Structure 1
Amino acid sequence: MTMPSQATTQGGGRSNAMAAFAAVTVLFFAWGFITSLIDPLVAAVKGIFTLSDAEAQLSASAFFIAYGLMSFPAAALIARFHSVPSILTALSTMVVGCLVMLAAANLAIYPLVLAGLFILASGITILQVAANPLAAALGDPKRSHFRLTFSQTFNSFGTFLGPLIGAHLFLEGVEVKEGTVVTEAVRTQALAGIDSAYFWICGLIVALLLFFWVSRRIVNEAVPPAPIGERAGIGELIREAFSSRWALIGGLAIFLYVGAEVAIGTQMALFLNSDAIWGQSDAAFGTFGWIMGNDGVPGVSLQEAGKAVALYWGGAMVGRAIGSVMLARFSASKMLATFTAIAALLCLYVVLVGGVTAGFVALSIGLFNSIMFPVIFTLTLERSTARAEATSGLLCTAIVGGAVIPYFIGLLSGSVGYAAALILPAACYVLLCVFAIAAGRAPARQASAGVTVH
């Protein structure tokens, strides 16, 4: 019998690793897409269930609170059971979350929507902690940075597509302005759109689950488990993280950044649809008609506004590509200070000036959000006295800001209006600018490790 040559074996190994890497990249796309579906979903449930702004924002809170509760357990799970079992657990959890969302859409029960989003996000939290190092490890070590950046680009592409498809499925005919009524036919159609979206997402996740089960040996060979003696328990990770001043400061910065970004994104469709911005104007169609569509009715409908939210996340995608080039030439702390200061000024423009131009200005905030998460992450890792795993666990936990600040901006917009409510994210960006200046003055203690990109 002829034995396969070493070259053939290596070639098969490379093919297997490439197939596994392609599946991991789909994971990045999937969780970006699912996360950005929250934006049109907030607007949809407000109309479907006749909710206040704050009640509708509970959808974002239910999703992002999972990061606060699950990040450290996810790190401990991965340390104990390794990448593949953790990914299988994450995907199984996400399937359960999708099934709960399907039940919520068919039974029209809002608390069930919140439960489904929390379960779904719990799986995504585990997935994020496991998939980043896996993407870097599947292939030639010299090209690990390229692979991780490539996967993260697909994550950004998912966040761009989510609002477009979500607005198309969830918001047709839905209106939430005072005095408007969502008819039973429109309500049924919106719920059917939610059902359809999470049905197909469930199918995608099941396919990925089966792939990783079949390919578990290939992935395990690419990323062998850490020696048992090097694994830290959840209690040890938490104690170490909270003993570091810079880990705590960085955690607060992540809390503020994610809270501001999510609060703006989840309010954006309602903001653009309001009469004070684009609700009674056709000005946006001249620039963005190609992505918003135009139903022929004067003013921007909620569905058209929901599609425009993709430009907010698209700006972050473009900004990440440009920012990565700029970060190779300029100081990370100075770049962060500049971007946060500009974002704060853009928010203040919306608050103080308002009007049609404020819609364009608000969408451009996404461009300056682009580098904030990875730069805050790496600046913190470089200055933290805790080990990278402990610091990363605390920083991922701080993503819970996406559950807290959107709820408060919902309360604020209900009393002072959508434009004035941006004073809250403006304050967050000012504090982030202070963080960037302080980090620039503090010496780095260690080289930064790989980061998890939100």
Structure 2
Amino acid sequence: MKGQTSSTTTIAFVCVTTLFFAWGFITALVDPLVAAVKGIFTLTDVQAQLAAFAFFIAYGVCSFPAASLLARLKSIPTILIALCTMIVGCLVMLAAANLAIFTLVLIGLFILASGITILQVAANPLAAALGDPRYSHFRLTLSQTFNSLGTFLAPLIGAHLFLEGVEVKPGTVVTEAVRQQALGGIDSAYLWICGLIALLALFFFFSRSVVTRAAPPSTAEARGSLGTMIADAFSSRWALFGALAIFLYVGAEVAIGTQMALFLNNDAIWGQSNAPFSVPLLGFAMGSDGVPGVSLQEAGKAVAFYWGGAMVGRAIGSVLLGFVRAWILLALFTAIAAGMCAFVVVVGGVDAGFVALAIGLFNSIMFPVIFTLTLERSTASQEATSGLLCTAIIGGAILPLLVGLVSEANGYAFALIVPAACYVALCLFAIAAGRARVAKREGEAAAISMH
């Protein structure tokens, strides 16, 4: 009987881990999409960043309602609702690609991200609960590895489908043939995603009893109304500090990622250089088209290494956290990231492209460490604090617009001054957390600390 229970738990965990991969892939697909819509619809930097805005604003709108939904319906029904919402978002994206309407792209991305928000709220604690509590950190890290794999693959595939022949440099024109090809790539990508999500939904529907049996019964009770939960979150100074930190971190990470292809394609960085193709793995992934310099499509593929750095950094960070206190590691990583952004702003050139890609390596541990540091110090309930922190992911909607404004006025390299300021503020947050009193044990914060 014990072996059968263990097998059931393993199957359930594998099912949930597929969800981590799915939302990582879909989220990172926004990066090449921003570059694509800029060329397809002839947009300014700020207008193109509306794609990121439409996606990440969903976290601000849906996080607390998703937590309330989870409290009422429990994990599996909530996951099914999330997947169905994502399917609707994909269908709107298909309509947007076929009708070539940018407004529909924004609506589709918002609906898709709303489903992902609900999915994250339900899947994170479920992954932690599926097995021995002593290994909850390991299970979340393993699931997060597949999430990172999705974020690594998405720019490669998205750039291949969305950016062939698309150029956005001043004076270039996107022909109708290239435009239709890019729209066809968007159509193909979201058609496949829609089909795969539908399969996941069917899989979860028919295996719901397996997952339900494997998950331990919840002992948590809903703590009042949605308004009460929000008021509880806002009553804690550290919940508010943590929310600001999440806002700045996600905003910086997303702003860099969504601008990265445009930044690397710029003539002042890699646009007229073949240097990246001499780097073995990077050059192979980018796949030179034989034309001197880095095209927008080749730059879009290079963005995978920004997210791949986060995947590698997360593995290294997991080991380092066993020896170094979390706030110290966060202070170190944020200080290095700020310095790297400053290098790009001040020095620029070909080297700045490599430095910018490497920032992902130091982004890696920021979200889970900020999350756990905040949960440990917040005087609000864990549910309320978590809901506020997830809402703060709205930074991924706001700060990219600011970076777009700065890049339009001063260039892509100078625009990294905004993420640099965010990382400096996060370094100060880490130092303050190291001096603050811990209100909860670390183990209490583990179950929902992974992004």
Q: Same fold (TM over 0.5)?
A: yes
Question: For residues 75 and 203 of structure 2, what CA distance do their matches in structure 1 show?
Answer: 14
Tell me how far apart the structure 1 counterparts of residues 120 and 243 of structure 2 sit (CA, whole Å).
17
Counterpart of 1:283, as a letter, is A
Listed one character per residue, the Cα deviations across residues 174-209 of structure 1 (whole Å, up to 9, x for unaligned) are 000000000111101101110111111111111110
Residues of 1 paired with 2:448 and 2:129: CA distance? 14
Q: Residue 3 of structure 1 corresponds to which residue in structure 2?
A: none
Counterparts of 1:147 and 1:106 in 2: how far apart (Å)? Answer: 41
Aligned equivalent of 1:264, options 256, 260, 273: 256
* 132-141 or 364-373, larger mean C-alpha shift: 132-141
- SS of 1:279's partner is coil
Select the residue among 335, 344, 358 that pairs with 2:338.
344
Gapped regions of structure 1 (runs ≥ 5): 1-6
Q: How far does residue 290 in structure 1 lie from its aligned partner after superposition?
A: 1.2
State the match for 1:48 in structure 2.
40
Other-structure match for 1:115: 107
SS in 1 for 2:292: coil
* CA–CA separation in structure 2 for the residues paired with 1:268 and 1:339: 20
Moved more, 234-243 or 18-27: 18-27
Alpha-carbon distance in structure 1 between the residues aligned to 2:337 and 2:57: 25
Q: Is 1:69 equivalent to 2:66 in the alignment?
A: no
Q: Please give the residue correspondences for 1:204-219 in structure 2 after superposition, counting only pairs within 5 Å.
A: 204-219=196-211
Distance 2:132 2:418 in 1: 45
Taking the aligned partners of 1:245 and 1:195, their CA distance within structure 2 comes to 45
Please list, as runs of the form range in 1=range in 2, the aligned pairs for 1:329-368 lying within 5 A after superposition: 329-368=323-362
Structure 2 gap segments, 5+ residues each? none
CA displacement at 1:105 relative to structure 2? 0.5
Question: By how many angstroms is 1:228 displaced?
Answer: 7.9
DSSP 3-state at the match of 2:195? helix
1:245-281 Cα shifts (integer Å, max 9, x gaps)? 0000000000000000000000000000000000011
User: How many residues were matched structurally?
Assistant: 446
SS at match of 1:373: helix
Structure 1 residues 140-159: aligned runs within 5 Å: 140-159=132-151
Give me the identity figure in percent. 74
Amino acid at match of 2:378: S
SS across alignment from 1:92: helix
Amino acid at match of 2:93: M
In structure 1, C-alpha distance between the alignment counterparts of 2:335 and 2:76, rounded to whole Å: 41
**Quick check: 2:232–2:380 contact (8 Å CA) kept in 1?**
yes
SS in 2 for 1:401: helix
Q: Which residues in structure 2 correspond to 1:32-431 (within 5 Å)?
A: 32-223=24-215, 226=218, 229-287=221-279, 288-431=282-425
Listed one character per residue, the Cα deviations across residues 394-431 of structure 1 (whole Å, up to 9, x for unaligned) are 00000000000001111110110000111011110111
In structure 1, how many angstroms separate the alpha carbons of the residues matched to 2:339 and 2:134?
A: 40
1:79–1:232: 8 Å Cα contact kept in structure 2?
Answer: no
User: 2: distance between equivalents of 1:159 and 1:453?
Assistant: 15
Deviations 1:88-120 (A, max 9, x none): 000000000000001101110000000000000
Partners in 2 of 1:443 and 1:434 — Cα distance?
A: 16
* TM-fit CA distance, 1:14: 3.1
> Whole-Å Cα distance in 1 between the matches of residues 377 and 95 of structure 2?
46
CA distance in 2, matches of 1:228, 1:166: 41
Structure 1 residue identity aligned to 2:215: V
Q: Could you tell me whether the CA contact under 8 Å between 2:130 and 2:216 is conserved in 1?
A: no
Distance 2:217 2:101 in 1: 43
Q: Report the alpha carbon displacement of residue 132 of structure 1 after superposing the two structures with TM.
A: 1.1
Q: CA-to-partner distance for each residue in 1:355-377, whole Å, 9 max, x for gaps?
A: 11100111111111011111111
Structure 2: distance between partners of 1:231 and 1:451: 17
- What is the distance in 1 between the residues matched to 2:290 and 2:220? 64
Q: In 2, Cα distance between the equivalents of 1:62 and 1:400?
A: 10
Residue 414 of structure 1 aligns to which amino acid in structure 2? E
1:17-73 C-alpha deviation (Å, 9 max, x unpaired): 322211111100000000000000000000000000000000000000000010000
**Distance change >3 Å, CA 228–CA 130, structure 1 → 2:** closer
Kindly tell me: are residues 230 and 451 of structure 1, through their superposed partners in 2, closer, same or farther at Cα, counting changes over 3 Å? closer
Alpha-carbon distance in structure 2 between the residues aligned to 1:252 and 1:88: 31
Aligned-partner SS, 1:289:
helix
SS in structure 2 at match of 1:298: coil
**TM-fit CA distance, 1:171:** 0.3
- Aligned partner letter, 1:94: M
- Aligned residue identity for 1:38: V
Question: Could you list the per-position Cα deviations for residues 324-383 of structure 1 after superposition, in whole angstroms to 9, with x for gaps in the alignment?
Answer: 110110111111111111111110111011011100111111111011111111110111
TM-score scaled by length of structure 1: 0.96
Equivalent position SS for 2:448: coil
**Partner Cα separation in structure 1 for residue 57 and residue 141 of structure 2:** 26
Mapped contact 2:167–2:174 kept (Cα < 8 A): yes
Flag the 1:184–1:142 CA change in 2: closer, same or farther, 3 A.
same
Equivalent pair of 1:76/1:232 in contact (CA under 8 Å): no
3-state SS of 1:163 partner:
helix
Amino acid at match of 2:206: V
Q: RMSD across aligned C-alpha pairs, in angstroms?
A: 1.2
